[in-house]
Structure 1
Amino acid sequence: MKEYNYELLKVEYVSDCVANVKLNRPRQMNALNQKIWAEIGDVFEKLDADENCRAIVLTGEGKAFCSGLDLKDGTLTDLISVEQGGDVARKARLIRKEILKMQKAFTNIEECCKPVIAAVHGVCFGGGIDIISACDIRHCTQDALFSVKEVDVGLAADVGSLNRLPKICGNESWLKEV
């Protein structure tokens, strides 16, 4: 079996054909920074091509599945800072480029030919919702909390959940209320 070595993800085979991908930033409640985003995209691309892998379970280390975007991660928040030089068009192009990279990471989950099962515990906020909406199956513990927090910080949920959630929920009027 192949070994997968990442800084912010733990990848291990829990049986002969089942890989467990674990978000591994427990002190930050598995908040998403630019590095983990890149690792998520990469690991799902590799597991998709791995002939020994037949299913993937996606979990989070520690008390939470995923607390969403890491607002303390300067690389993401610097993109929209006013102090950064350059005109608006160049900033917009740079922001678009980064958002497309983020979307691609979660699209790699969605397009993986192996079934991807999200095992959710604790909080699943913002980007965590984006992640699980890209999975084939979602299972949660009784203590799991879900929220789309982007609205609370003035961001649009544009990493895929706006496209994926209507297909999952099947009730667009309920989704508009959320």
Structure 2
Amino acid sequence: MLPPPAPTAPERPLPGASRLLALARAVWSRLGGPVPAPAAGLTPSAGGTILVVDDEPIVRELSRIGLERGGFRVLEARDGLEAVELFRTRRESVDLVLLDMTMPRMGGAEAFRRIRELAPGIRVLLTSGYTRAESMEDLADLPPDGFLQKPFRVRQLVIKVQELLGGQESNFTIK
């Protein structure tokens, strides 16, 4: 068996990220089931493919785990440049892009514009540690389909993705 190919860009592990990831996996395994069922008013997930774009490995991993447990397939990219290239080759299978705004090589705003040029109707859910207003300054002319401020809960993410792909508004408030 051949070893996996070397990554195109080096991962920058966060301090303590491996311990945090191990803890997250332990918590998920203790939960022993799928993400809690969606609240009333939400359509159960019919599946779909989500492109998760974030330069933080722990955010990608936790998003992937939650989305997969919510019934979605997940593709991952480490920055905007990798996301655009991956989207270019797989756009027919991508239903939604989960896109961080602050990343190396190519930031979220530029990646968002390029992805929308390739597929104007693609749904995009932006994430950022900054506020929505700060994050949207560069995108006033091209609003995304949704926004989640970091840190967000995995349940929030799954519900928001279900809303965006199901086309329904949620009357559910996250506690």
**Which structure has more RCO (C-alpha within 8 Å, separation ≥ 6)?**
2
TM-score, normalised with respect to structure 1:
0.29
TM-score, normalised with respect to structure 2:
0.29
